[in-house]
Amino acid sequence: MPRYKTYSRSTITVSGLEIQVHRKNVKNLNLRVYPSKKEVKVSVPKRAPDSLIYNFLASRILWIKKHLNRTSTKPEAPTPTFKTGDAVQVWGDTLKLDIIFKEQAPKVFLKDDGTMTLQIRPGTSRIKREQIINEWLRAQMKEEIPKLIAKWEPEMGVKVNEFGVKRMKTRWGTCNIRDKRIWLNLELAKRRPEFMEYVVVHEMVHLLERLHNDRFYAYMTLFYPKWPSLRKELKGDHPLQDC
């Protein structure tokens, strides 16, 4: 018997480290490390035996501990204040925020010198400023996504019925295969445009292949050969999964 304790169906202790176990409708074991929260989670197929989960985690325990510690020494990104001089990311560019106050409906506009001007009413809170910018980013995405869908539909021989943009904590995008509807993470508006195209192609490939299997990745390579480097970069700086 391996020496480990299972406190409940949802926690397993491996080499002194408590790891959250989420039993889900998944085919593979999926490991995620959250250095900022000092958390490790693994999602596993519903009927996976504890010994399998234990062995999986034990074989990766050095890697897990390294990642928990290495990244935790990195300073966390400061919470943006949304004041003049703040940096804002738009399509991979860093713009300087300039706040101007006017008793009018708020608006955002970009200048050629790399400034994003946010026009707001005096007294507008930080949260509200962020919301206004997020809505502007969402509008940028909603303008670009139909162009990408129109470009890729004939290439791939699929049809997207509907798309949407929302804030998602764990995914860059999702695809509802039955309704042929894709959702994209609002964060993509901050990244270089090729990342959004990569995620759009990924979600559209799901209309050809539901699972992340060899067939799926063969399609990815056929349609978007540079996907592995983009995927690596997306995973490297954000603990999000591609789908």
**For binding to Zn ion (CB under 5 A), which residues are involved?**
243
Alpha-carbon span 57 to 64, nearest angstrom: 8
Q: Quick one: 99 or 243, whose CB is closer to Zn ion?
A: 243
Alpha-carbon span 93 to 111, nearest angstrom: 13
Q: Quick one: 189 or 220, whose CB is closer to Zn ion?
A: 220
Q: Quick one: 68 or 243, whose CB is closer to Zn ion?
A: 243
Q: Smallest gap, in angstroms, from Cβ of residue 138 to Zn ion?
A: 22
Q: Smallest gap, in angstroms, from Cβ of residue 144 to Zn ion?
A: 20
Q: Smallest gap, in angstroms, from Cβ of residue 56 to Zn ion?
A: 21
Q: Smallest gap, in angstroms, from Cβ of residue 214 to Zn ion?
A: 14
Q: Which residue has the tokens 């925020």?
A: 97
Q: Which residue is nearest to Zn ion (CB)?
A: 243
CA nearest to 72, candidates 45, 37, 101: 37
Other CB atoms within 10 Å distance of the CB of residue 6: 14
Helix (H) or strand (E) holding 67: helix 61-72
Q: Cβ distance 199 to 184 under 8 Å?
A: yes
Q: Smallest gap, in angstroms, from Cβ of residue 220 to Zn ion?
A: 10
**Three-state secondary-structure class, residue 62:** helix
Q: Quick one: 56 or 217, whose CB is closer to Zn ion?
A: 217
Buried b (16+ CB within 10 A) or exposed e, 184-208: bbbbbbbbeeebbbbbbbbbbbbbe
Q: Smallest gap, in angstroms, from Cβ of residue 6 to Zn ion?
A: 30
Q: Quick one: 61 or 243, whose CB is closer to Zn ion?
A: 243
Write out the DSSP string of 23-37.
EES-SS-EEEEETTT
Q: Quick one: 82 or 172, whose CB is closer to Zn ion?
A: 172
Structure tokens at 74: 């990195």
Q: Smallest gap, in angstroms, from Cβ of residue 218 to Zn ion?
A: 14
**Three-state secondary-structure class, residue 132:** helix
Through-space distance between the first and last CA atoms of the chain, rounded to whole angstroms: 36
Structure tokens at 149: 């869908």
Alpha-carbon span 170 to 190, nearest angstrom: 16
Q: Quick one: 137 or 205, whose CB is closer to Zn ion?
A: 205
